[in-house]
Structure 1
Amino acid sequence: MSRPFVPFRQFVLKVHSRCDLACDHCYVYEHADQSWRGRPKVISDETVSWTAARIAEHVKEHGLDRVHVVMHGGEPLLAGPGRLGRIAAELRGRLDGFCELDLRIHTNGVLLDERFCEVFAEHGVKVGVSLDGDRAANDRHRRFADGRSSYDRVIRAVELLRTRPELYAGLLCTIDVANDPVAVYRGLVALDPPRIDFLLPHATWDDPPPRPSPTAYADWLITIFETWVAEGGATPVRMFESIIRTSAGEPSLTESLGLQPSDLVVIETDGSYEQADSLKTAFEGAPGTGLHVLRHTLDEVAGHTGILARQQGLDGLCDACRACPVVDSCGGGLYAHRYRTGSGFANPSVFSADLFKLITHVRRRMKMHTPTRTATHTVPSTVIDTLASGLGGQDEVGHLAESQRSLRRALLAAVNSAAGADGGAFSGADTAAAWELISALDGTHPQVVDAVLAHPYVRVWATECLRDGRHAGHLANVAAAMAIRAGVTAALDVQVLAGSVHLPTLGVLEVDPGGTAGPGGVPGPEAGRTARLETAEGAFEVAGDGHPGAVTPDTGDDRGAGGEGGGAGRPGWHPVRRLRAGDVSVVLEDTDPFRDCHQWPAEGRLTDDRAQDWQRAFERAWALIEAEHPGYAPGLRAGLTTLMPLTPGPEGREVSSTARHAFGAVAAALPEDPATLALLLIHEFQHVKLGAILDILDLYDEKDTRLFHAPWREDPRPLEGLLQGTYAHLAVTDFWRVRRHAVPERGNEQFARWRRHTAEAIETLAASGALTPLGERFVAEMRRPAAAWLDEPVPEAAAACADRSARDHRKKWTAETSASHQ
């Protein structure tokens, strides 16, 4: 039986083995392995064809859905635009229809011009450029052989890429601690890169890096990290993101960090397979495998001992690394950096002290929670573009959900800090025991902590608590819900609001029938009282509620909407219900005391019959979404967690809403037909997504207080309001674009109307002058589908109706606006 291996997903294709620069820190030409001297300068068409065939064979064999290919060198642009175009065409021709191909090129940028850019645009090639910072930093190493600076030519190349953002992949910077870190960072950020890669210089224990102090590289990077954090992490930095991700148990974004197995192979210009290029710094022949693309499959390469050695995770590290507390982020560092004559690669990284200090600093910094936008989450440009188009599936919405996870944790910590420090607004709220319990559960049951914090109205409560100091004692209710779900024993003084004890994600227990409540059972401004709640083995009991005996809530997803579910026999216990449709399950939230945060008032506790009405409507609406609007289903499945019933609107008006701080929740009055509910869900979830995007990204100048015309509103809107409405109406337009085939007369009128309104609003946003560069990109991506829809044919009557509606609305709005200024 063959040894198990990890399939390759990353391929470095050496298209040219020479370079037009003479960088003295280059691992290809200046380090131990000099095999480049005996290789062809340029890869042949035959080798490219065999390479593409081998990758396609590997993709089919292992069912891979995505692979990454980087054209590399030497300097790959020396291959010329024609050859690079043929290489890209060959790869896409072999792989299209079998998997997604992320095709890139890494270059020093010296030769980049419009000819190359046209080729890259034609074949979908993204360009990464090596640049070591500002002029002084870059010219320290990156010069021509005659000593001339390369800086001006590289900057010219980057400026060209800035005019072609669809091609711009980012900047790669090799660290030299002799350079000013802030000047380097500022020099790179000024070029608006989609991402920055800081690379430790390749070195081994036999040939260690220049080191003016024991942790010089950590100190250099920490200086940049602090600047990065202070500026909100606006430009993604792969090293910092990877430390943050691995610290949270997620995969690294770079092979130099983390424990995930290597899935990379190099194909040289002569067709030989090699391991990672960085091994060239270890010893002559270190990256070699003895295998060739003409004679060997990628499965054979994957079984090579050198490849397998880099796929062992923790088991592949030396004893010192396995015992290190930051090994889950460090991963032993880059494999090549561990080399020492005599012990091979069975050593810590030559940068181990630096990695330990840097990772420890980043982790400590992450624990300094603030309830504001944080630098711990950035979003890849591809994710931004997909979301901006109006769509977004599991991966895209997953990025947003993860950023919300960090934000909720920060808010909870801020509530605890404020409660402990404030003797006024938070007076009487003993949160110390609750926080101690939450902290303990986060160590033993982190998934339970996250499940409770993910309830949309926990963030609503925390935000309101920080604003006005009320209901800090609800922190104990949050902790109690976690303890019940974890099945641990605990005792807490929980808050009683409106005569009830609410446990987020579980339900509400009436303990004081005389308690008063506002609309929908929402508490008034009174602070409430406390009651002693004890938990054990998944059950709880509240002392003095008049009904002795424990309640055992149903903490799973197997409770439907039609009954009271777990603990139903207990007087006064109202569990959270769920709605189901196929594999989708969402909370039907009619118990949370902080849910009345929407534009329309919350409905009170539903009767069983009313809950069944919601179940039937949701089931039919979801079936319609999957059948007619499948592009929206993955995002809804990944991010919609809660439906909150609203009281019916006036005169049968359909009403729905989202709340800025309630990620995952859509509020609506039960509509008369499932198609309307489907539209409300799709429409409102757009607001959910954009709200989460705005939590972590700056799309516009928040100091701009101007008001703008929104074609669907009588009143002028601030920029965020216009952006929210326009983004939501992308989905509304798309809904009617499809729905018009089922209801032609109404559907065509609605489609014609909304496509015109949405396109007009997009142009208003684009011309506002208040968008950040990222906001301009976001709005440009919004324009793509909207512009395409304008070209779709509609009946003349529908088009005329849309034109008339737009003219009448604009005329009325202009008149009212003029009158208001007189």
Structure 2
Amino acid sequence: MTRSLLPITQFVVKVHSRCDLACDHCYVYEHADTSWRARPKVIGDEVLARAAERIGEHAAAHGLAVVRVVLHGGEPLLAGPERLRRAAEEFRAALPPGCALDLRIHTNGVLLSPAFCELFDEVQIKVGISLDGDRAANDRHRRFADGRSSHPQVLRAVGLLRRPEYRHLYAGLLCTVDVDNDPVAVHDALAELDPPAVDFLLPHATWEQPPKRPAEQGANPYATWLLAVYDRWEAAGRPFAVRTFDSVHRTLHGLSSLTESLGLEPAALVVLETDGSFEQADSLKTAYDGAPATGLDVFTHSLDEVARHSGIAARQSGLAGLSATCRACPVVRSCGGGLYAHRYRADGGFDNPSVYCGDLMTLINGIADRGGRPPGPGATAHVVPAQAGEPAVPAGLTDPQLDELAGGHGGADTVRALVRSQLALTRAMLAAVRGASGLRTSAAWELLAELDSAAPSALDAVLGHPYARAWAARRLGGDPGAGIGPLAELAAAAAVRAGRGDTVAVPVRAGALHLPTLGRLDVAARTGEVLVTGAREGFTVRTADGEAVTVAAEGRADPRWQPVRRIRLAGGWTVALEDTDPQRDSHQWPVEDRLGEAELQAWTGALREATELLDRDLPGYAQGLRAGLSTVTPLRPGPPGRDVSAAARQAFGAVGIARPATAPTLALLLAHEFQHVKLGAVLDLVDLYDPADTALYDAPWRPDPRPFEGLFQGTYAHLAVTAFWGARVRGYDGLPGEAADHARAQFALWRGYTAEAVERLAGSGSLTALGSRFADGMRANVRPWLEVPLPGAAEDGARRARRARQPTAGTTGTG
């Protein structure tokens, strides 16, 4: 299949290939590519004329409305005023009618003079100047060859552009980040120069030549540095535009990026060297010698041929052109894999995440956390190790938190970090649904984006609903029953929660209006749409035939309204007993219909008793469960003698349970299933095992072999099962009786099963470095239970059960 050609709209034209500064971080002269040595110093008239002709032809053939040309170097001012005038005149004259020229020059400013400014005013060239901050910051790298500071000359150049007669030429400043510089001082120094825009650029680096990372500055120092600038920038009222920050804001809202280093928009840029050769982006000069070369030139090749070059195509292929790690990342549509050049590794080419992967994720997360949203605070993704062989901690989790999770536990703060990452994933998946469904002008989406700024807590409450993500996953997975209507339902629910008076058109499904997290309203029509208007005192639903139904926030509700019932548990913890949302049917067992009052009361009592028992006997598990379990979905009962429970991989925060006969069994099921919920969230952040492993593994508690993730999930869940029965054994210490004997038998069985499974995982050869860390943590969790003495009858019973390969009665779950 022939790739559809994407026209080139941005051209970097090298008008001079040498420089009057000797910046030690310059990618042109100091990095891998050395092609500059063999090129003419100045671009010739013939090259300029032919380049202008090629650009004009390309613009006419593709109906381009605007073309951007950046005059570059080396130092472009060394080309002299007449050469720059010639370039401006050639490019402008060659463009077809209706195509505008956005002409700019990027300079170090040393040679900028009133004469140059007069020329640029005449031929309409805007000026961007490279400056890394105050004198100390700038002189760290930007010096003359003899070591002299360039700072005074650059300030003089900026001063010229700030004059009233030249202010319209002032395009902005380009600042290369150095984490040894004070970020606040850099921001303030640049802000003093009143720029219209500032580009903060990561220094070019690859996996072969990684950026410096001072040990004392943490794992992601570039993110830390940029977030410090971001905070100062926000506090100052955003005194200038910042393409990086603005691009993060835009991509978090599903819009296009403003820079090639973020987002998934195809790159539409080519470089013209002084000898007339076409090259790919200059940043590739940092990868290896000759990396930007195309073998094409302005004399013998059209720009259509350049656009079809495999290297150009690789930078235009969006999500498909990213590594598997990047494609699995929940915030890939914001990060976009980072700058193409920064992905280079000698043994894998560019099929890698960015060498700044952790920094980019942390930056996106931090901006979202500060209100950039979506994808929400703490958003994380697969993160590549800073050094080969060194396991990376996912962004948003600290080392102690990761160790808590590896050991099977996870306190409130740790699980809240997982909650934030899952909210981020839901946001990213909804953006993907929008993109895949072509909803560029969806009223529901536009309202969601508006509420994200105006009422973020209302939106978070809805997007944090477990079954919002479950629907998005179905939709993206091609489920024919997953229509687009739930997007309007989510928008309406958020609008009702915001109470601003917004009106949303929502489709009726099976005779009901569904508002996620709020409830269900039966309406007369089986299909069609209703209008939902939220207000502080409740909301109103208007049907197609003009009927209006008002649902009050307080007081007597319309009998057709079935709200989500919430059960208040000890310590102020509230859990939704979800029996209205059609997306709740995401588990491995049929869901119950709307509960009657008697069953509701039975659930209320059982949950209160079960969670009190967990607080008492399993505090290491209960704290995280309180922080992360938001929803219990009643399931239909299983066969006699079998308790039924499940955790849906795409519904973080929810468990499905058929109410068991006793509260202790409910406590066991809650602890068991929430282990699956936690581990699923971790697996959304990092690979704990080789996904290419398709072998089946023996799970001690099942008669059938399991895929590797199934074995991992079951082992992790049974840490809580073992702890539950261990706590019961302690409670029966020294006591006789049938209940005590049952607890001892179960404890003997499950500690043996779990210990055996941990060793099977550890010896599989499929664990990543972080997976091995989890195996070590699980082994440390179960080891003390193996040392608890038990009666011989309990051990004998466990051995018989293991030989029979069937768990004894009283245990269940998805493991």
1:541 Cα deviation from its structure 2 partner:
2.4
Match for 1:488: what amino acid?
R
Q: Is the contact made by 2:551 and 2:558 (CA closer than 8 Å) also made in structure 1?
A: no
Q: Is the contact made by 1:393 and 1:635 (CA closer than 8 Å) also made in structure 2?
A: yes
Distance 2:606 2:448 in 1: 37
Q: What residue is the counterpart of 1:405 in the other structure?
A: 423
Q: Is the contact made by 1:243 and 1:329 (CA closer than 8 Å) also made in structure 2?
A: no
Of 141, 145, 148, which aligns to 1:210?
A: 141
Q: Is the contact made by 1:684 and 1:728 (CA closer than 8 Å) also made in structure 2?
A: yes
1:715 Cα deviation from its structure 2 partner:
1.0
Q: Is the contact made by 2:361 and 2:381 (CA closer than 8 Å) also made in structure 1?
A: no
1:671 Cα deviation from its structure 2 partner:
0.9
Distance 1:601 1:674 in 2: 22
1:680 Cα deviation from its structure 2 partner:
0.7
Q: Is the contact made by 2:412 and 2:626 (CA closer than 8 Å) also made in structure 1?
A: yes
Distance 1:745 1:638 in 2: 34
Does 1:500 find its partner at 2:512? yes
1:236 Cα deviation from its structure 2 partner:
8.8
Matches within 5 A, 1:278-293: none
Of 458, 461, 475, which aligns to 2:487?
A: 475
1:805 Cα deviation from its structure 2 partner:
1.8
Larger CA deviation: 577-586 vs 587-596: 577-586
Distance 1:701 1:496 in 2: 44
Per-residue CA deviation, residues 223-255 of structure 1 (Å, 9 max, x unaligned), is 5699999xxxxx9942355479x5xxxxxxxxx
Matches within 5 A, 1:390-789: 390-420=408-438, 432-468=442-478, 470-512=482-524, 515=526, 529-544=528-543, 548-552=547-551, 554=553, 566=554, 569-582=557-570, 583-740=572-729, 741-742=731-732, 743-789=739-785
1:473 Cα deviation from its structure 2 partner:
2.0
Aligned alpha-carbon RMSD (Å): 3.9
Matches within 5 A, 1:315-326: 323=239
CA shift in 2, pair 1:319/1:208, >3 Å: farther
Distance 1:596 1:624 in 2: 28
Distance 1:584 1:461 in 2: 26
Q: Is the contact made by 1:487 and 1:537 (CA closer than 8 Å) also made in structure 2?
A: yes
CA shift in 2, pair 1:495/1:568, >3 Å: farther
Distance 1:714 1:634 in 2: 33
Per-residue CA deviation, residues 726-763 of structure 1 (Å, 9 max, x unaligned), is 00000000000011224421111111100000000011
1:571 Cα deviation from its structure 2 partner:
3.0
1:207 Cα deviation from its structure 2 partner:
7.8
1:605 Cα deviation from its structure 2 partner:
0.4
Per-residue CA deviation, residues 751-788 of structure 1 (Å, 9 max, x unaligned), is 11000000000111111111111111111111112122
1:208 Cα deviation from its structure 2 partner:
2.9
1:594 Cα deviation from its structure 2 partner:
0.6
Per-residue CA deviation, residues 608-627 of structure 1 (Å, 9 max, x unaligned), is 11111100111111111112
Distance 2:432 2:520 in 1: 25
Q: Gaps (5+ residues) in structure 1? A: 1-135, 138-200, 230-234, 247-255, 260-313, 331-354, 422-429, 516-527, 555-565, 812-822
1:574 Cα deviation from its structure 2 partner:
0.3
Q: What residue is the counterpart of 2:75 in the other structure?
A: none
CA shift in 2, pair 1:228/1:689, >3 Å: farther
1:695 Cα deviation from its structure 2 partner:
0.5
CA shift in 2, pair 1:431/1:720, >3 Å: farther
Matches within 5 A, 1:803-818: 803-809=799-805
Q: Computing the radius of gyration over CA atoms, which structure comes out larger, 1 or 2? A: 2
Distance 2:134 2:563 in 1: 60
Match for 2:413: what amino acid?
D
CA shift in 2, pair 1:530/1:547, >3 Å: closer
Q: 1:667 is paired with a residue of what secondary structure?
A: strand
Q: Gaps (5+ residues) in structure 2? A: 1-29, 32-131, 144-172, 178-199, 212-216, 247-355, 384-393, 733-738, 808-815
Distance 2:604 2:622 in 1: 18
Match for 1:536: what amino acid?
A
Q: What residue is the counterpart of 1:269 in the other structure?
A: none
Of 777, 782, 787, which aligns to 1:791?
A: 787
Q: 1:408 is paired with a residue of what secondary structure?
A: helix
Match for 1:215: what amino acid?
C
The percentage of counterpart residues that share the same residue type is: 43
Distance 2:234 2:600 in 1: 59
CA shift in 2, pair 1:545/1:685, >3 Å: farther
Distance 1:208 1:391 in 2: 50
Q: Is the contact made by 1:484 and 1:538 (CA closer than 8 Å) also made in structure 2?
A: no
Q: 2:507 is paired with a residue of what secondary structure?
A: strand
Q: What residue is the counterpart of 1:350 in the other structure?
A: none
Per-residue CA deviation, residues 243-290 of structure 1 (Å, 9 max, x unaligned), is 79x5xxxxxxxxx6676xxxxxxxxxxxxxxxxxxxxxxxxxxxxxxx
1:703 Cα deviation from its structure 2 partner:
1.1
Q: 1:590 is paired with a residue of what secondary structure?
A: coil
Q: Is the contact made by 1:419 and 1:431 (CA closer than 8 Å) also made in structure 2?
A: no
Distance 1:721 1:736 in 2: 22
Q: Is the contact made by 1:511 and 1:546 (CA closer than 8 Å) also made in structure 2?
A: no
CA shift in 2, pair 1:745/1:547, >3 Å: farther
Q: Is the contact made by 2:655 and 2:670 (CA closer than 8 Å) also made in structure 1?
A: yes
CA shift in 2, pair 1:754/1:721, >3 Å: same
Per-residue CA deviation, residues 115-158 of structure 1 (Å, 9 max, x unaligned), is xxxxxxxxxxxxxxxxxxxxx99xxxxxxxxxxxxxxxxxxxxx
Distance 1:607 1:437 in 2: 35
TM-score, length-normalised on structure 2? 0.54
Distance 2:443 2:726 in 1: 55
CA shift in 2, pair 1:546/1:673, >3 Å: farther
Per-residue CA deviation, residues 470-492 of structure 1 (Å, 9 max, x unaligned), is 32121111001111100112222
Distance 2:406 2:415 in 1: 12
Match for 1:499: what amino acid?
G
Of 391, 397, 406, which aligns to 1:379?
A: 397
1:545 Cα deviation from its structure 2 partner:
7.3
Distance 2:209 2:490 in 1: 35
Distance 1:726 1:776 in 2: 14
1:543 Cα deviation from its structure 2 partner:
2.2
1:498 Cα deviation from its structure 2 partner:
1.8
